[in-house]
Amino acid sequence: MFTGIIEGLGRVISLRKTKQGADITVECPFTLDSASVGDSIAVNGVCLTATTLSGSQFSAVASHETLSRTSLGQLAVDSHVNIERALRLGDRLGGHMVQGHVDGVGALLDRQRTGEAIDMWFSCPTDLRDYLVEKGSIAIDGISLTLNSVDETRFRVTIIPHTADWTTLGEMAIGAVVNLETDVVGKYIVSLARRGRLTAASGLTMAKLEEHGFA
């Protein structure tokens, strides 16, 4: 489990294709003394398992499935990536509940500066649209962000200077592919409502969710 609060920008220092998929080695902007082999580390929002650790570097294996369903297949040596180590019991949940399981990929469509903030528009697969709610949460390349507007083909988020400086969003080019993970709580609610598992006694129905902007 992660929070979507990025700890810093890592750099891909090695990327080797294998029969399994790819071996990736990342250099972090901090030491990994408290980490162990087998720990989960999110790379651009993708939960990977550390297979080796050395100082501020770790290696992980990205399977063919991971490479085909996320943007990790587009990484190259020297690519910058968002890094977050797994949540520990007792840590503050500063963002929202993020699993590191990517639901789909989108692309940066446009960006406009508004004062010191930056409005960013992203495309989204149509099968994820039901899980996007205005003022709800989404993880973009592992970054916990608030959805400020949503329509049938795109959504908008607004980032502050700290987020621009601390993550890959600051220098992201138009057309860049990003990993998207929708809110896990919303996914369960919508799934239950679609299957008619939310009983009348609860008073919660798909119609009521739609009425109040939750679906």
Give per-10-residue mean pLDDT for the chain (215 aa): 94 94 96 94 97 97 95 96 89 84 96 95 93 93 96 95 96 97 81 68 64 63
The one-letter amino acid code at 176 reads A
What's phi and psi for 168, nearest 5 deg?
A: -70, -15
Q: What angle do CA 173, 143, 21 make, to 5 degrees?
A: 75
The span from the CA of 198 to the CA of 24, in Å, is: 43
Phi, psi of 97, rounded to the nearest 5 degrees:
-70, 115
**What pLDDT score does 193 carry?**
73
pLDDT attached to residue 46: 98
- Cα separations in angstroms, 52 against 100, 156, 160, 204: 20, 38, 34, 47
| pLDDT for position 185 | 78
Residues in the chain: 215
Count of domains in the chain? Answer: 2
* Helices then strands, each counted (H, E), the chain: 4, 13
On whether both 183 and 109 belong to a single domain, the answer is: yes
pTM: 0.87
- Dig out the tokens for 194 from the structure: 């679609």
Q: Is residue 98 part of a domain?
A: no
pLDDT of residue 59: 98
148 in any annotated domain: yes
Q: Which domain holds residue 75?
A: 8-85
Q: Check residue 64 and give its pLDDT.
A: 94
Six-digit token pair at 206?
A: 């798909």
Instruction: Verify that 81 and 108 share a domain, yes or no.
Output: no
Judge whether 138 and 183 are in contact, CB under 8 Å: yes
Q: What is the pLDDT of residue 201?
A: 45
Residue at 53 is within a domain:
yes
Considering the domain architecture, whether residues 76 and 109 belong to the same structural domain is answered as no
